[in-house]
Structure 1
Amino acid sequence: MWLKRWLLGHPLTTKQAVHERLSNPVALAIFSSDPLSSVAYATEEILLVLVLAGTAALHYSIGISIVIVGLVAILTASYRQVIFAYPSGGGAYVVAKSTLGEPPGLVAAAALLIDYVLTVAVSVAAGIAAITSAVPELHEHRVGLGLLAIVVLTLGNLRGVRESGKIFALPTYLFVGSLGLVIVVGLGRALFGATEPHPLPSVPAVEGLTLFLLLRAFSSGCTALTGIEAISNGVPAFRPPASQNAATTMIWMATILGGLFLGITILAYVYGLVPREEETVISQIARISLGEGALYYFMQVSTMLILILAANTSYNGFPRLASLLAQDSFLPHQMRNVGDRLAFSNGIFILGLSAALLLILFHGETHALIPLYAIGVFLSFTLSQAGMVRHWQDRKGRGWRKKFAINLTGAVATGVATVVLAITKFTHGAWMVIFLIPLLIGMFKKIQWHYKMADWQLSLTMYDRPKNPPPNIVVMPVGSVNRAVVIALDYARQRAHEIRAVHVDVDPEETAKIKADWEKWGTGIPLVILPSPYRSFLQPLLDYIEKVREENPGAWVTVVLGEVVPARWWENLLHNQRALLIKAALLFKFRVIVTDVPYHLGPY
């Protein structure tokens, strides 16, 4: 317990929840770290595709980036309306479910859950790549470093929303400031001729410059938009007035995102850069703009931190979405429980575990994970905006036509982008996401069906309660006669009229001693000896309990176990192994109850 308190802090009362809400600057760091950090690799992903058509195609990166920034503006305007229309949060799942129906809502939820896990894996992998660009010797340890980063993120978020905000806000602003400095210095040098010209390198074309190639480059650059919906999902986390503060923070985020993304893309073209396996594009830009001194390494460290901490957006979005699904019985009900630090602890833990497995599976390679990325979030964008179109159609109200037009534009733009992403990335890994979505929906429906059946069977509506409670027969296994067994027997005698003490004979000499001791301490209760020719104590006991059930249909069979509780945790390994086996074997037996009677050993 002391270790938990040291790692996570002391419990918070429910009344303290209002004090855990976030100010706009802290909320910007938490909810916007994912889209803001994506500028570190979005431009590189565009160039990785364009360079296939040779050096002459690289100038298209600027036009593609402008189109993506336009999408940022459309989505920002659209999600601001979601914030005001749905101030309780929930994002695409709540909007689609309430306006389009349950199936579209579940599609949006499945897509977002997948994307949240991918966000953590991609962000951590990209962050480790940033540091290995500066220190190549660490490249072979990237998976281990990534797993360590996920552990730190998980523990930080288990401490609570405000606590994690304090921890993770500073690196976000350090990255924005340092990258802003790189862009300002780089553009200043380019405009005023303070830097040497950087001609585009000669790269041979391996593919033709086709519309499909340009669409692939666009879809790769759309990774810059992932996480942009997180603010609309987390409106309740803002200080009052929550909706207004969330909408303002959304504007801040979009402005910073658009400026940084365009700045990096322009500098990459001005400097004539192409992707290199041993160094990221943003590292190359920082090296040229700032030189190779302390500022360059500061930039790389801040890039590593923001890329890793970008996963914090998912650590806020995934647990909240999982709790909403759990409230609707589409996920285990434990997911809706708030932990003692006022965070959705179960969701945080499952997200960290899933991302760690993904990182191991893809060997920590950013470029291997990127093709899986974005398709899910764009699908949820489309469903959310389509839901808002239906919302304005049904509700109307003052100025609804303008709001309708904004969301319709968002639905069409993101819908087109979703189709482009699905087609261009399908063979590169997007098929896995498209395959996983229906599997998750099937899991949601199966879980909901279980809860419906459980509620029906537990309901008292048609329950015909018997006038007299059924009889209770106590079966008490006796491995040896000692103080723990005698106390358990006394407990059973107070609560049952029929007690059957049983001993499994695996050693005739030991059995004779136990029979003699039982004559003295058994208070006249007969001791049934069960033969065991194969020296198994468990199977003869289970057969006997089954025989008692068959001879007494409708009766309860209570198995009373005298269990020793040692004073030290490690001493548990030395006791109770038979008790554990008995409890595990009887867990699913109908009308069989296992009662533990603990006997606590004192310290010595």
Structure 2
Amino acid sequence: MLAELKRLMVGQPLATEPLAHERLSKRIALAVFSSDALSSVAYATEAILIALMAAQSGALGYATPISVGIALLLITVAFSYRQTIIAYPQGGGTYIVSRENLGVTPSLVAASALLIDYVLTVAVSMSAAVAAITSAVHVLEPYRVELAIGLISLVTLANLRGLKESGRIFAVPTYLFIGSMFALIGVGLVKLMLGGGSVPAAPVPAIPYVPEEFQELSFFLLLRAFAAGCTALTGIEAIADGVPAFQKPESRNASITLVIMAVILCTMFLGTTVLANAYHIIPDGSLEPETANSQLARMIFGNNSLFYYVLQVATMLILVLASNTAFADFPRLSYFLAQDRFLPRQFAQRGDRLVFSNGVVALGIFAAILVIAFGAREQSLLHLYAVGVFLSFTLSQFGMVQRWRKMRTPGWRRNAAINSIGALVTGTVLVVIASTKFLEGAWAVLMLIPIMVILLRSIHHHYTAVARQLSLADAPPPSAVRRHTAVVLISGVHRGVVPALQYALSIAPDNVTAVYVDMDAEVTAKLKEKWKRWGSGVPLTVLSSPYRSLLRPLMQFIDEIDAQYDDDVLTIVLPEFIPSKWWQHLLHNQTALLIKAALLFSKGKIVTSVPYHLED
């Protein structure tokens, strides 16, 4: 039944064969790899406005200069990643760059930050997608968590079925979102110019966003707003990770696509922030909050305009696609870590549909837990978001500096200078984000990363120890087995016992013992009478158990038998009858399973099950 359900949900298995690799044009690659970065426009401006509201609405005018600073940072990071694309045409993920140029520990720090970031990407994107819909359809607001969990489940299932990053799937929602945002900015600017530089202010929400305590407008508060808006840079490294997917010449096409993405992202981010200031958008703090982008769209397009609903739907779709970027990268990074023995080997195995299904399922579960914990509120999750992003940025850029210094290829000084600027800028922003958002949740990420590094190293230590102990390098040549001892554990005399006895006699004809634990004197007496006829001449040992314990006398007897000889192989034979229906297993006490579990951790013993299959 479980197998049939899996086939229905996931699909039929695919044969192992060379994986088809779709080469993407710049136009399609922009849609495939930019959805995560472009989707940040849906919540970055609002994050700045909420941070500035701590000094009341009069401070919202600082949103525009802050967004200009973030745009300059974005351009710096984009040009730094161009160097990574040139140096790693096979794909320059932060883990790989750090491992090759900085060493094991920095690479594990980068990997931990990335794994956390991918989980947050799914949780934030799905929560923001739900916010886009509930802003347009308020009746759905009480079901935010359920909607977000439903979206995560759908995308998880799609990836388990082997969803490919097809241009058709990604291009339509991505370009619909870009077109809708440019239409919003264009129409908003036209209305602003026609109004002589001023337009009617947006209606104040029923309950404007109110922070826990008001603060004076200070440099520290502006830094907090800047740190909040830096979520606009999430996903910018995706193109550098996916260089091999581009058409030839891969590096050149990827570099051009990265520049185009940076220009589009800067334009949309600056445009929405400028318009939010011009239209006096105030964050909504009600129980049914409306996003800042939704408020702005209502002011520009009108409440019941078709363009408004198109924008909201496009926003939801690109946010869902943004989460799919994490579903592609999280299993791939888990695969690299598993290959290097830092994660369980299961993460390196492809499932029935040729995808790393264990990584897909793990990501879906972790993201769902975060969504439930934070009530599907993306602004609450953003406090955790940017720390891992800028930590991976900094390590990647610093790793590139080390690479240029080591390789000394033509133009290495210029390239190293560019990456040095990127490392310095992103490192500074990392310190700003960590300090300004420490008490708001960044402490959790900063604490979790070293814990994950320790866990990854522990897994690696285990695999290294296993490999060392299993190695034949220093092992003595195998010696011949001189004696074989078989012990058959019985719970009665029935058809299932006879094949087990025959098997035991075949491997140890002159050294077989049957064992039974006496729980009831009357039942034991009847068993001894039947054994005389059906025991095949095998001696029967009855163990006393005055306290009705099964495992204790069995384990003690097996240890005594094992201690008799130093040169024998001891095999414990378990006769088992197998019901024909899965549910019939629930009607039996699974004693054999308990015995096998106990013997599994008993050194030097072989356990063999001899099944007897029952009919309907």
TM-score band w.r.t. shorter chain: over 0.9
Work out whether 1:601 is the aligned partner of 2:614: yes
Q: Distance in 2 between matches of 1:325 and 1:220?
A: 31
Partner of 1:385: 397
3-state SS of 1:162 partner: coil
How far residue 402 of structure 1 moved from its aligned partner, in angstroms, is 2.5
Q: Distance in 2 between matches of 1:592 and 1:170?
A: 62
How far residue 14 of structure 1 moved from its aligned partner, in angstroms, is 4.0
Partner of 2:373: 361
| Aligned residue-pair number | 603
Q: 1:459 aligns with which of 457, 471, 477?
A: 471
Q: 1:217 aligns with which of 225, 236, 240?
A: 225
Q: 1:533 aligns with which of 546, 566, 589?
A: 546
CA contact (8 A) 2:518 2:524 kept: yes
Partner of 2:14: 12
Mapping 1:423-572, distance limit 5 Å: 423-469=435-481, 471-497=483-509, 498-553=511-566, 555-572=568-585
How far residue 570 of structure 1 moved from its aligned partner, in angstroms, is 2.1
CA contact (8 A) 2:504 2:512 kept: yes
Structure 1 stretch displaced more, 502-511 or 24-33: 24-33
CA contact (8 A) 2:41 2:232 kept: yes
3-state SS of 1:594 partner: strand
Structure 1 stretch displaced more, 18-27 or 592-601: 18-27
Partner of 1:373: 385
CA contact (8 A) 1:90 1:320 kept: no
Percent identical pairs in the alignment equals: 52
Mapping 1:71-82, distance limit 5 Å: 71-82=73-84
Partner of 2:320: 308
Q: Distance in 2 between matches of 1:139 and 1:554?
A: 72
How far residue 161 of structure 1 moved from its aligned partner, in angstroms, is 4.8
How far residue 66 of structure 1 moved from its aligned partner, in angstroms, is 1.6
Q: Distance in 2 between matches of 1:242 and 1:568?
A: 55
Change (3 A) 1:265 1:516: same
Change (3 A) 1:571 1:82: same
Q: Distance in 1 between matches of 2:374 and 2:399?
A: 35
How far residue 442 of structure 1 moved from its aligned partner, in angstroms, is 0.8
Structure 1 stretch displaced more, 425-434 or 403-412: 403-412
Work out whether 1:398 is the aligned partner of 2:406: no
Partner of 1:289: 300
Q: Distance in 2 between matches of 1:470 and 1:311?
A: 61
Deviations for 1:61-112, whole angstroms, at most 9, x for unmatched residues?
Answer: 1111122122222222221221231233351111122112222212111111
Q: Distance in 2 between matches of 1:482 and 1:168?
A: 63
How far residue 191 of structure 1 moved from its aligned partner, in angstroms, is 2.3
CA contact (8 A) 2:384 2:441 kept: yes
CA contact (8 A) 2:191 2:199 kept: no
Q: Distance in 2 between matches of 1:421 and 1:398?
A: 36
Change (3 A) 1:319 1:508: same
Q: Distance in 1 between matches of 2:15 and 2:263?
A: 37
Change (3 A) 1:466 1:410: same
Task: Report the TM-score when normalising by structure 1.
Answer: 0.93
Mapping 1:50-449, distance limit 5 Å: 50-162=52-164, 167=169, 170-193=172-195, 197-199=199-201, 206-238=214-246, 241-277=249-285, 278-293=289-304, 294-449=306-461
Structure 1 stretch displaced more, 468-477 or 432-441: 468-477
Change (3 A) 1:197 1:524: same
How far residue 317 of structure 1 moved from its aligned partner, in angstroms, is 1.5
Q: Distance in 2 between matches of 1:432 and 1:298?
A: 37
Work out whether 1:578 is the aligned partner of 2:595: no
Change (3 A) 1:476 1:229: same
Q: Distance in 2 between matches of 1:206 and 1:306?
A: 35
CA contact (8 A) 1:50 1:58 kept: yes
How far residue 242 of structure 1 moved from its aligned partner, in angstroms, is 4.3
3-state SS of 1:502 partner: strand
How far residue 222 of structure 1 moved from its aligned partner, in angstroms, is 0.4
Change (3 A) 1:305 1:487: same
3-state SS of 1:563 partner: strand
Change (3 A) 1:176 1:200: closer
3-state SS of 2:108 partner: helix
How far residue 258 of structure 1 moved from its aligned partner, in angstroms, is 1.6
Q: Distance in 2 between matches of 1:256 and 1:281?
A: 20
CA contact (8 A) 1:90 1:321 kept: no
How far residue 225 of structure 1 moved from its aligned partner, in angstroms, is 0.7
Change (3 A) 1:472 1:175: farther
Change (3 A) 1:104 1:184: same
How far residue 145 of structure 1 moved from its aligned partner, in angstroms, is 2.1
Change (3 A) 1:443 1:237: farther
CA contact (8 A) 2:500 2:573 kept: yes
Q: Distance in 1 between matches of 2:387 and 2:299?
A: 34
Q: Distance in 2 between matches of 1:330 and 1:26?
A: 34
Structure 1 stretch displaced more, 535-544 or 368-377: 535-544
Structure 1 stretch displaced more, 188-197 or 497-506: 188-197
Change (3 A) 1:93 1:562: same
Change (3 A) 1:517 1:583: same
Change (3 A) 1:102 1:19: closer
How far residue 250 of structure 1 moved from its aligned partner, in angstroms, is 2.4
Q: Distance in 1 between matches of 2:519 and 2:534?
A: 21
Structure 1 stretch displaced more, 38-47 or 302-311: 302-311
Runs of 4+ in 1 over 6 A off after TM superposition: 200-205
Q: C-alpha root-mean-square deviation of aligned residues, in Å?
A: 2.5
How far residue 323 of structure 1 moved from its aligned partner, in angstroms, is 1.4
Partner of 1:41: 43
Q: Distance in 1 between matches of 2:168 and 2:494?
A: 56
CA contact (8 A) 1:143 1:359 kept: yes
